Structures are given as C-alpha cells and as structure tokens.
Amino acid sequence: MEGLRRLEYRGYDSAGVALVNGGVRRVRKLGKVAELQSALDADPCAGNAGVAHTRWATHGAPDEANAHPHISGRIVIVHNGIIENYEALKKTQTERGFDFTSETDTEVIAHQIMWHLSRGGDLLRAVSLALKDLKGTYALGVIDVEQPGHIVLVRNGSPLVIGAGADGGHYAASDVHALLQVTTDFIVLENGDIARIGRDGVRIFNGELEDGELRPVERAPVATPLSPHAIELGEFDHFMQKEIHDQPCAVTDTLEGRLLDDTVPDGILGPGAAALLDAVKAVQIVACGTSYHAGLVARHWFEEFAGVPCRVEIASEFRYRRQVILPGTLFVAISQSGETADTLAALALAKKCDYLPSVAICNVPESSLVRESDRVLMTHAGPEIGVASTKAFTTQLVTLLLLAMLLGKRAGMEPAVRAGLVAQLRNLPSRLEQALALEPRIRELAQQYADKNHVLFLGRGRHYPVAMEGALKMKEISYIHAEAYAAGELKHGPLALVDRGMPVVSVAPNDHLLAKLKSNLQEVRARGGVLHVFADSGAGFRSEGDSVVVIELNAPENAVAPIVFTLPLQILAYHTALLKGTDIDQPRNLAKSVTVE
Ligand code: AGP
C-alpha cells in the first residue's frame, strides 16, 4: 500500500490489489488509493505474493470493473501501457469461450496468458508465448494462482524496476519511488526482458524463446541516491507548492559543477563532447507539454547566442512526419520523467535518421530516455510529484541555456557576453527567491480568478512560451480555460474575446519588445479587459485601481528573465486552484508520466 501511495501521482482513476493465499483475494476501488485503503482497513487481507495498481484510464471508463488487477482463470495481472491489437485478440478469445468482465485492453493479456498456460508448461513459458501475440507497449506483473511463489514481470516500452528488499522480499514497480521504503538498489529491466521474482531471488531472461527455452541475461543492479524522504511534503500543503519553493535550490543543484570561472566546460555533456558540439549546425528539439515550452524558450537562446537554426516540435506530431534534416542537426529530447511515450518514440525515430548523436534533457537518471539517448544533460530538480510541472521546467531551462552557451562558444560568442551569462546564472537562485517573496500579493490577486471561466496570457519573444506555460498551469490545475498568445497576434482574432472584466495576464520584461508590448496591452485596456502585468521593475508600468494591476519583479538580467517570470505564473495558478478547491497535485483526467501514446 505504501508503494501504491507513492505511485499514485502517475494515475489515480482507480486502485486495486490482489493477494494470493490459497486462493486469490482481489479488492478494487474507484478513485484514490485512500479508498482502497479504507476498504482493506475494514476487511484486511494477507498473502505472500500480490500485485497492485493505480490506473489512468485508456480503454474503458474509470470504474471498478475496469480497475486492475484483472483475472482470467488462474491468472492475475496488472498492466501499464496499451495493447493495440486488443480488438482482434478479443474476437479470437470470445470464439474460444473467454468471458469479458471489463472494457480494458488488459483483459486480453490475461486471457492470452491463460490460453497458453492451459496448453501446458509453466507461467514463464505461457507469458513468453502470449507476448508474441501482443502488439503495443506494456509493463506487466503476472501471477499464476497455482504457482503462488513467483511473480512474472515483463517490460516492453513501459518502465519497470525490480528491488530486493532488506526484509528478504522481492518487489517490482514502475518507478523507483514506489520501492524506496524497502530498498535503494534496483535492477532496471530493459525492453524485451522477462523476469521472475520469488522467494528464491530474481531471474531475468531475454523474452525470445530459443529452441523452446528462454535465455538468461544479466542486468547489474544500480543504486539510487534518492532517499524515501525526498518525496515528503514537509511544511507545505501540496507538492506543487513545495516544488515551486524548491526552485532556487533545484537551480543551484542543476548548476553545480557546470560553471567554471566564467565559462561552461564542454565536459558537462560527457567525455569527447567537444567533437560533437563542433559538428552542430542546427538543433531539433522534441518534447511534450511543459517540456515543449522549455524547448520553445531555448530556441531563442540557440538562435541568439549560437546563431544555429533551431526547430522545436511536439513529439506526438514529430513522430508521424517525414523528416527533412539539415546536415549537422543535433537532436535534443526534453522530458522530466524520461518515460513519455511520444518523446521516446520520437527519439527512436531520430536514431534511425541522419541526426548527430542525440542529447536528452531529463530529471530521472533511471529513465528510458536517459538510457536510450547518446548523451545526457540531467536536471537535478529532485523528484517532482505534483502533476503540474514546475521545478522540472525551470531546471530544463537552465540546462538548455548551458547547452546554448556551449554552442555559442563555437559561434564566437564574446567572452564578455559569456561571462555576463554565467553571472546571470549564478545570480538566478537569489532572483528566484525574490520572485517567491511575491506570493502574498499573488495570492490576493488570485481572488479575482476564482469565478472566471476564461483568461488570456500574453507575452512576446522568449516570454511568449512563458505565457504558454502560465496558461497551461492555469488550465491544468484550476480548470479555468486559459489561452496564451504572442501579444502581437492579439489583433488578428483573439482580441474579439476581450470584453469588460476579462482577465489578461501579461509578462513584461524590460527588453527590446517592451514598447511593442505596451501598445498591445493598450488594445486590451481600450476594450475593457482587466490587465494583470508581471513586469520588470525597470519596465515603467503603473497600477490603475483594479483595472491594471502591476506586480513588479526584479528580473533585469535579460537571458534568464524567462526563468524568473515563470514563478509568479506558477504561483498564480496554484492560488487560483486553491481557492477553487481543485485537486492540485492530482488534477482530474491527468497523470504525471504519460507512458501511453
Ligand atoms: C505539465 O504541467 C504537465 N504535467 C505535462 O505537460 C508534462 O510536461 C508533459 O506530459 C511531458 O512530460 P515529461 O516532461 O515527463 O515528458
């Protein structure tokens, strides 16, 4: 149950557990792990082998019948991922006489394994035969009720780790956080692996049957530096709030060892990075959601400081498009979790194309993205539990700026410019502390949002993606419809939305676009829109009663300003959601790691 609670942020539509003890006892509940816990408190169960699951619904509504574990005859199963050919399998299985009790794609896996098991052999063999029939991505935990001493595990595109507990038990989970209370040493399964854990230890096999036999493979254990306390709330009410406040430290940790005097050493990208960096003539960034917004900010840095053309694309679009690749293009994949299915698929596609070796920007060292990329720039944000990404975003921006500086060095960046950027980065944690100190004023401002249905976010240049990120945070946790526009684009359509009382949030750094931005904001004022401007203290904005509210920030250093301006928008979304009483850390319909397409 502790493991389930720690994994809950990844999916929270329903939760369930099945324990084998003579027969099998299964308890499933709609909603959060707490609901399951209450049911178990009222009617406890015990056993020596079990599987449990928190669900983010893909096939079938979030209800009890669709909750995992699923059962077919002697087989008890939990599954993450998607089975793409489930309709065809379901048809065959129905003809074979199998009954379906759910609308999930998971149930066909259980039936398929049961079908093979009923034809002879042990569970491991039945699972490996069933895998040949499945198309899609999955991580599985499977028990045969008649061989209860073992659990068979499969990894194919969805993450799975095994931990040996100090209590002599063996455990598996879809991320290390779930098992930190029993171990910090893990075996990370690779795609195609089948493993069996039990009282007698762990055995791992290559999934392919050769002459009817599975071939054993070795997977060395790795120690994680994470502590079970790394994911405790401390003095905060929500993980999102804690993670917003973690940002000065997270940025300090991400910069640690990466600034040398007034330069960024090539070595931060690993041994021999200089040759790769020398070859870069263009950059292609691929990511999803908040990580995509980080890429959009970075595009400005790559083009301004390094003079290399940079394209940024959402991974789910990129992966289905014909690639036209400029010679010498560096492929950069950004992902907090390193498990986002679309980003991983984009990376897999890029590896088959004519890109330079790939670079991952990621927060989870054990993740698939880190393992599958050629080079890695880790963000050291610490575990991010709130579904709304905060400190992951700002630390992604820091690493992307470092990468832009490495490329800038090749493009003849003036030493004074480089030293200036290094100084801005060193100063950044204290700028972020100052931004956090605005929380009481922003909390007050949030009161004007709680009864609104729509909000516009405006920015220009590299602050346009900051506005996009502010709008994403607002809609994700407060459920208020929020859209971001490049301020200059307003008059081409969205201005029609603005009427009396419509809140329009703007990010206003003191940069070369300030005068243009001010004109755009006048267009909003003239239509009765209410302006809430987060402005650099040197930008010359003045509050006018309730219709123009200016909150000043100290963000004079231009390059890092997008990082500083992000914080008040995160805080605004947080306090709006708090007033609305939404589930801030686990907003409806979402999950932290999107491991399905
Ligand atoms: C943002 O708050 C979201 N949680 C979401 O957009 C997220 O950034 C996206 O799903 C990508 O996740 P990743 O960084 O783990 O790949």
Measured in Å, residue 336 CA sits from the centre of ligand 1 at 7
What integer pLDDT is reported at residue 117 of this predicted model? 97
pLDDT of the residue at 165: 80
pLDDT one digit per residue (tens) for the chain, 597 residues:
999 998 888 888 999 999 998 899 999 999 999 999 999 999 999 998 999 999 988 888 999 999 999 999 999 999 999 999 999 999 999 999 999 999 999 999 999 999 999 999 999 999 999 999 999 989 999 999 998 889 999 999 888 999 988 788 899 999 898 999 899 999 999 999 999 999 889 999 987 777 778 999 999 999 988 887 777 888 999 999 999 999 999 999 999 999 998 899 999 999 889 999 999 999 999 999 999 999 999 999 999 999 999 999 999 999 999 989 999 999 999 999 999 999 999 999 999 999 999 999 999 988 999 999 999 999 999 999 999 999 999 999 999 999 999 999 999 999 999 999 999 999 999 999 999 999 999 999 999 998 999 999 999 999 999 999 999 999 999 999 999 999 999 989 998 998 888 899 999 999 999 999 999 898 888 888 999 999 999 999 999 988 899 999 988 878 999 999 999 999 999 999 999 999 999 999 888 888 878
What's the distance, CA 98 to chain centroid?
37
Residue nearest to atom 4 of ligand 1 (CA): 388
Pocket test for ligand 1, best of 389, 472, 594 (most atoms within 8 A of CB): 389
Specify the pTM.
Answer: 0.86
Domain 2-223: which CATH number of 3.40.50.300, 3.30.1490.100, 3.40.50.150, 3.60.20.10 = 3.60.20.10
Q: Which architecture characterizes domain 437-597 according to CATH?
A: 3-Layer(aba) Sandwich (3.40)
Give the pLDDT confidence score for residue 323 in this predicted structure: 87
Selection from 248, 294, 343, 215 nearest residue 468 by Cα: 294
| Shortest-distance Cα residue to atom 7 of ligand 1 | 289
Q: Are 352 and 374 in contact (CB under 8 A)?
A: no
Distances, alpha carbon 404 to alpha carbons 238, 415, 475, in Å: 34, 14, 31
Q: What is the distance between the alpha carbons of residues 4 and 207, in angstroms, rounded to a whole number?
A: 27
CATH topology agreement for domains 233-433 and 437-597: yes
- Under DSSP, is residue 157 helix (H, G, I), strand (E, B) or coil? strand
Q: How far apart are CA 306 and CA 315, in angstroms?
A: 24
Confirm if 103 and 60 have CB atoms less than 8 A apart.
yes
CA distance 170 to 506: 52
Q: Are strands 185-188 and 161-164 parallel, antiparallel or unpaired?
A: antiparallel
Cβ 21 vs Cβ 50: under 8 Å? no
The residues pairing with 70 across neighbouring beta strands, listed in sequence order, are 77
Q: Longest Cα pair distance anywhere in the chain, in angstroms?
A: 80
Cα 585 to Cα 597: distance, rounded to the nearest angstrom: 22
| Distance from the alpha carbon of residue 340 to the mean position of ligand 1, in angstroms | 8
pLDDT (tens digit per residue) in 275-313: 999 999 999 999 999 999 999 999 999 999 999 999 999
Return the pLDDT at 5. Answer: 92
Provide the CATH topology of domain 233-433: Rossmann fold (3.40.50)
Ligand 1: residues whose CB is within 6 Å?
A: 288-291, 335-337, 340, 343, 387-389, 472, 476, 593-594
Domain positions in the chain are 2-223, 233-433, 437-597
Distance 7 CA to ligand 1 centre (A): 16
Nearest-CA residue for ligand 1 atom 5 is 289
Which of 336, 347, 596 is the pocket-test mutation for ligand 1 (most atoms within 8 Å of CB)?
A: 336
Q: What is the pLDDT of residue 192?
A: 93
C-alpha distance from residue 136 to each of 80, 157, 367, 375 (Å): 11, 8, 19, 27
Distance of CA 246 from the midpoint of ligand 1 (Å): 18
For ligand 1, atom 9: residue with the closest CA = 289
- The residue among 355, 402, 394, 346 whose CA lies nearest residue 377 is 402
Cα 265 to ligand 1 centre (Å): 29
| Cis omega (within 30 of 0) for bond into 556 | no
Q: Between β-strands 70-72 and 548-553, what pairing exists: parallel, antiparallel or unpaired? A: unpaired
Question: For the segment 488-505, what is each residue's pLDDT rounded down to a tens digit?
Answer: 999 899 989 988 888 999
Q: How much distance in Å is there from the Cα of 592 to the middle of ligand 1?
A: 7
